[in-house]
Amino acid sequence: MPKSENQKLKTLYVAKFFLENSDENHSVSASDIIDFLQEECGITADRRSIYRDIAALRDVFGMDIEGGQGSRYRLLSRDFEFDDLKILAECVRAAKFISDAKSKEIIASLESLCSVYQADSLNADIFHVNRVKTTQKGTLNILSAINLAMARTVDGKAHEPQKVSFKYLRYTIDDINASVDTRKGTTRIVSPYRLILNEGYYYLLAFDDKAQDMRTYRIDRMKEVKLLDAPRDGFEVYSKIDMAQYTQRVFNMYGGERHRVTLRFTNDLINAVYDRFGKSGDIAYRDTKDGHFTVTVEVETSPQFYGWLCGFGNKVKVTEPKAIRDSYQKHLEKILGLY
């Protein structure tokens, strides 16, 4: 680019220098800016022109630049505060539905929104417990496609929610590093209604054409997602779902028969139980005054639910109904029979 054209962009380059090299803890001088313009941009500048540029960035463009005394300046704030960027970066790292490669790409984009000094801190190594990231690529594109299918307006125009098709994947012991199609690669057709974020994974709640009922699918196990030229079905079934109760009832996105059960726990487990069930109108807690409490709640009594109970050992007991108590006992006897 000719020097004269670069000269016209001088104020923008000064702004760029502040964004990349200054924050509340790192100041820059007019000399630093002059050297940058000369060495990196081929622009000749004197101190007075730098002062005018900084004044314009403050007064016209609203950049929060502090200083002037001793010719040192600091950029105190940005569109995104550094603490906000840290939170976003950690959310990306913790999201299991985003692959490691995509996580690094997103965080690199976040780095461009802070100074080079802050970027180092943005990459500080934080250990995440049980962080198993998906190996599937394109999950964000799948989310975008599903959101588009569910949208009621697109580009400001009315849009009728539509069905989507996809193939579903699973792992096999034959090759644990690869996933294969379920149902021999049969394409599933569903009417999408809700995205659910559960323990770091995204799930799609949708009305399944074949089952004629609501089903949940993990987003990072879907592939070849396509929007179909067909309106969404199953609204009557979906409208009967209470999302708060649904997400409390379904453990780890596995289905089972619905039952209202009463569970007896030792008092030290109140936090774990409250974190699982919460406190809504149909959930009843009762202090039994003997070092225990009971909770009565509607759950789906699947093997995964029983597995959750097993984790508490002898600190939990199914008290009602008898049929579920007997079913849980048989579950334990099957496990014991292996030893």
For residue 337, the Cα-to-chain-centroid distance in whole angstroms is 40
Any idea which residue has 């680019």 for tokens?
1
Read off the pLDDT of residues 134-179 as tens digits, 9 standing for 90 and up: 656 677 788 888 889 999 888 888 899 999 999 888 766 555 455 6
**The dihedral of CA 153, 159, 160, 161: what is its sign?**
negative
Read off the pLDDT of residues 30-48 as tens digits, 9 standing for 90 and up: 889 999 888 888 888 888 8
Cα distance between residue 299 and residue 213, in whole Å? 18
**Phi, psi (degrees; rounded to nearest 5) at 203:** -125, 150
Read off the pLDDT of residues 177-197 as tens digits, 9 standing for 90 and up: 556 667 777 899 999 998 888
Full pLDDT tens readout for the chain, 339 residues:
445 466 778 888 888 888 888 888 888 988 899 998 888 888 888 888 888 888 888 888 888 888 866 678 888 887 777 777 877 777 777 777 777 778 788 888 888 777 777 777 766 655 444 455 565 667 778 888 888 999 988 888 889 999 999 988 876 655 545 566 677 778 999 999 988 887 777 889 999 999 899 888 888 888 889 999 999 999 999 988 888 767 766 654 456 678 889 999 998 888 888 877 777 667 888 888 888 999 998 888 888 888 889 999 999 999 999 999 999 999 999 999 999
The domains of the chain, with CATH numbers, are 3-75 (1.10.10.10), 82-122 (no CATH), 139-241 (no CATH), 247-336 (3.30.70.240)
Answer yes or no: are the C-beta atoms of 118 and 77 closer than 8 Å. no
Label residues 301-337 b or e (16+ Cβ within 10 Å = b): bbeebbebbeeeeeebbbeeeeebeeebeebeeeeee
Give residue 235's pLDDT: 92
